[in-house]
């Protein structure tokens, strides 16, 4: 039993390894769970918890990609309201115990329940197309420091999504 070093992985990839021949469509999950811009954060948190995912592409009625919502987006936004989402239980808690602060975070809960994803989603989304080579997808994810990359067609319609785990699982299944 061995391990694959960075040098070994470069050699394997440069000498015609499986990843050199793979395209985004081979690695992507085509069964994408997505939301629309009008979905509330409360609904989005429920979807994250129910499906054990950490990113949701945001689409319009024609399935055109409009943005992406991540757990980090929700945590960042809720921290500004002094409310912390508990994604595993899909409930909301606040870090405050002072009764004087209860009113403030109660208002924060109500605001979170009414806020739509369009308000906090990342609008500048890094995407790839189905034919994008696997190594290029990996380079993009590493360079941009992103965990998920939506796969779109030439018209911007969502076709799938690739998570870092999808890349790892693909490599593991091929023996690379």
**Domains along the chain?**
17-174 (3.10.580.10)
Contact by Cβ (8 Å): 23, 130? yes
Whole-structure pTM value: 0.74
Q: What is the pLDDT of residue 101?
A: 46
Taking alpha carbons only, the member of 165, 168, 173, 134 closest to residue 54 is 165
Angstrom distance (rounded) from CA 104 to CA 124: 32
Q: E-assigned strands of the chain?
A: 35-36, 55-59, 65-70, 84-86, 91-93, 128-129, 148-152, 158-163
What's the pLDDT tens digit per position in 27-77?
999 999 999 999 999 899 899 999 999 999 999 999 999 999 998 898 888
What's the pLDDT tens digit per position in 72-95?
898 888 777 665 554 444 454 445
Contacts of residue 16, Cβ cutoff 8 Å, sequence gap at least 6:
none
Angstrom distance (rounded) from CA 4 to CA 8: 6
Residue in the structure block whose two tokens are 């009008």: 38
Interval 104-112 mean pLDDT: 59
User: Which among 1-5, 46-50, 111-115 has the top mean pLDDT?
Assistant: 46-50
Contact by Cβ (8 Å): 45, 87? yes
């Amino acid at each position: 039993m061995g391990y694959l070093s960075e040098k070994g992985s470069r050699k394997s990839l440069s000498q015609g390894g499986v990843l050199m021949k793979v395209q985004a469509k081979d690695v992507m999950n085509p069964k994408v769970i997505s939301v629309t811009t009008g979905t509330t954060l409360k609904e989005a948190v429920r979807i994250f918890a129910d499906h054990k995912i950490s990113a949701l592409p945001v689409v319009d009625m024609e399935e055109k990609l409009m943005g992406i919502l991540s757990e980090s987006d929700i945590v960042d936004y809720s921290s500004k309201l002094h409310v912390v989402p508990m994604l595993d239980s899909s409930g909301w808690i606040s870090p405050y115990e002072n009764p004087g602060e209860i009113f403030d975070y109660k208002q924060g809960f109500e605001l979170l329940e009414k806020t739509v994803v369009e308000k906090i989603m990342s609008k500048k989304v890094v995407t790839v197309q189905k034919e994008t080579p696997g190594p290029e997808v990996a380079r993009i994810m590493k360079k941009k420091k992103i965990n998920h990359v939506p796969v779109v067609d030439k018209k911007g319609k969502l076709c799938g999504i690739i998570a870092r785990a999808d890349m790892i699982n693909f490599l593991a299944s091929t023996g690379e």
